[in-house]
């Protein structure tokens, strides 16, 4: 898959830099690839490689109706010549989401499940394993997902100059990779977009290799805006403002909450003014397609 991507640019966030009186940059992983955008490319890379090495021809994975992971897996699998099935949480609706339609267009076969059946993932996994499918866990969560995520910072030429690296978290896989690949003096901060998922910190520690388990990082749990699928008007307005000022598009599930949090932290003097921040724009823009037309200016 390596030949399909470009080096993600780094851009200054001028308003945030001004507020902090120091450097605030964004790593634009959203520009990495038009479909397998953001962290999903990194998280999938070693699963796909592993499936190839082990001689699998078919891949199965799991996700919700708006899952960036589902689209990314559909695309990546197709481009590497795999057949894929996506096990979707929830019954099939009359009109399927843009996300799922896109996955279908890339040849993914969708299998809708009741929530109860979905809960019983182990049974589903066994079934597909017996039928010769390679299993990619939901959200790419697992050690191969972490391994891929340790490469996210590789392209950042002056990575050593940053004191803080900040990203959004869903499963915590990406941040585990960032924690493992950052320097000991750098503080890694995760903005958790899931409401009430406070065990995330321990789950992240579980994902870390032994020698990184004591490394310091922080997860902030107060920026979920009501929960994973929630994007109140306040957030949508903020996204439009941020676009007008910085020309950075954000997605309503992850990155809007991330950049909002960074602004809020700066204005509450969370960082001292010799801090240098790197914010990771981890993509996910396709999720905005579920909003009514005209909601966003970008
Ligand atoms: C999937 C995703 C995340 C969450 O990554 P995890 O590794 O599950 O924590 C964050 N941002 C975007 C845009 C995503 O698509």
Helix 39-53 with 68-79: angle, nearest 10 deg: 40
- Whether ligand 1 lies within 6 angstroms of the CB of 35 is answered as no
Tokens of 137: 């866990």
Pocket test for ligand 1, best of 168, 223, 228 (most atoms within 8 A of CB): 168
The pLDDT assigned to 4 comes to 62
221 alpha carbon – ligand 1 mean position (Å): 15
244 alpha carbon – ligand 1 mean position (Å): 24
Q: Residue 25: which of 40, 15, 35 has the closest Cα?
A: 15
Task: Provide the whole-model pTM.
Answer: 0.96
Summarised one tens digit per residue, pLDDT across range 18-44 is 999 999 999 999 998 877 878 998 999
Helices (H), the chain: 14-20, 39-53, 68-79, 98-105, 115-119, 121-130, 143-149, 173-181, 200-207, 233-246, 255-267
pLDDT the model gives residue 37: 79
Question: Which of the residues in the chain have pLDDT under 70?
Answer: 1-5
Q: Is the dihedral of CA 169, 172, 174, 179 positive or negative?
A: positive
pLDDT (tens digit, 9 = 90+) per residue, 71-126? 999 999 999 999 999 999 999 999 999 999 999 999 999 999 998 999 999 999 99
Residues 6+ apart with CB under 8 A from 111: 85, 86, 87, 88
């Amino acid at each position: 898959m390596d030949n399909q991507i470009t080096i993600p640019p780094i851009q200054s966030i001028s308003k945030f830099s001004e507020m902090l009186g120091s450097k605030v940059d964004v790593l634009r992983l959203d520009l990495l690839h038009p479909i397998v955008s953001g962290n999903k490319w990194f998280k999938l890379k070693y699963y796909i490689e592993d499936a190839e090495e082990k001689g699998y021809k078919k891949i199965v994975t799991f996700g919700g109706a708006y899952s960036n992971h589902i689209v990314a897996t559909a695309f990546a699998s197709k481009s590497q010549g795999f057949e894929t099935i996506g096990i979707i949480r929830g019954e099939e609706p009359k009109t399927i989401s843009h996300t799922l339609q896109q996955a279908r267009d890339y040849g993914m076969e969708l299998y809708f499940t009741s929530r109860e059946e979905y809960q019983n993932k182990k049974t589903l996994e066994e079934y597909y394993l017996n039928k010769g499918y390679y299993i990619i866990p939901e959200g790419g969560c697992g050690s191969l997902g972490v391994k891929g995520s340790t490469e996210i910072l590789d392209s950042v030429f002056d990575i050593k100059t940053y004191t803080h690296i900040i990203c959004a978290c869903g499963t915590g896989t990406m941040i585990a990779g960032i924690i493992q690949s950052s320097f000991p003096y750098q503080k890694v901060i995760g903005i958790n977009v899931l409401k009430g998922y406070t065990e995330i910190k321990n789950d992240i520690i579980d994902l870390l290799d032994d020698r990184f388990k004591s490394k310091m990082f922080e997860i902030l749990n107060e920026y979920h805006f009501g929960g994973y699928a929630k994007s109140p008007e306040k957030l949508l307005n903020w996204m439009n403002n941020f676009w007008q000022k910085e020309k950075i598009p954000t997605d309503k599930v992850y990155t809007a909450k991330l950049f909002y949090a960074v602004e809020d932290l700066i204005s509450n003097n969370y960082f001292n003014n010799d801090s240098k921040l790197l914010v990771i724009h981890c993509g996910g823009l396709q999720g905005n397609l579920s909003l009514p037309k005209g909601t966003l200016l970008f």
